Amino acid sequence: MLTVTGECVPEQLAQAAEAGSVDARVVQALRNGDERAFLAIVQCHQPAMLRVASTFVSSAAIAEEVVQETWLGVLHGLDGFQGRSSLRSWIFGILANCARSRGTREARSAPFSSFGAGDEDEPAVDPPRFLGADHPRWPGHWATPPEQWAEEKLATQETLKLVREAIEVLPRGQKQVITLRDVEGWTSGETCEALGISEANQRVLLHRARSKVRTQVEQFMQGGSR
Tell me which residues in 112-131 interact with another protein (CB under 8 A).
123-125, 127, 130
Q: Which of 5, 28, 59, 68 binds another protein (CB under 8 A)?
A: 68
Is position 77 an interface residue for another protein (rule: CB under 8 A)? no
**Residues in binding contact with another protein, number by CB under 8 A:** 52
Binding status of residue 81 toward another protein by CB under 8 A: no
87 touches another protein by CB under 8 A: no
Q: How far apart are CA 65 and CA 102, in angstroms?
A: 10
Nearest to 68 by CA among 79, 57, 84, 83: 57
Instruction: Please pick, from the candidates 27, 87, 171, 184, the single residue that binds another protein as defined by CB under 8 A.
Output: 184
Q: How far is the CB of 109 from another protein (least distance, A)?
A: 25
Q: Is 164 in the site for another protein (CB under 8 A)?
A: yes
The answer to whether the CB of 159 falls within 8 A of the CB of 165 is no
Nearer to another protein, 85 or 187 (CB): 187
Window 8 to 47, contacts with another protein (CB under 8 A): 33, 35, 38-39, 42-44, 46-47
The only residue of 19, 62, 183, 201 in contact with another protein, by rule CB under 8 A: 183
For the CA atoms of 51, 57, 59, 60, what is the dihedral angle to 10 degrees? -30
Interface contacts to another protein, rule CB under 8 A: 33, 35, 38-39, 42-44, 46-48, 51, 64, 68, 71-72, 75-76, 123-125, 127, 130, 139-142, 145-149, 154, 159-160, 163-164, 167, 178, 182-185, 188, 203, 206-207, 210-211, 213-214, 217-218
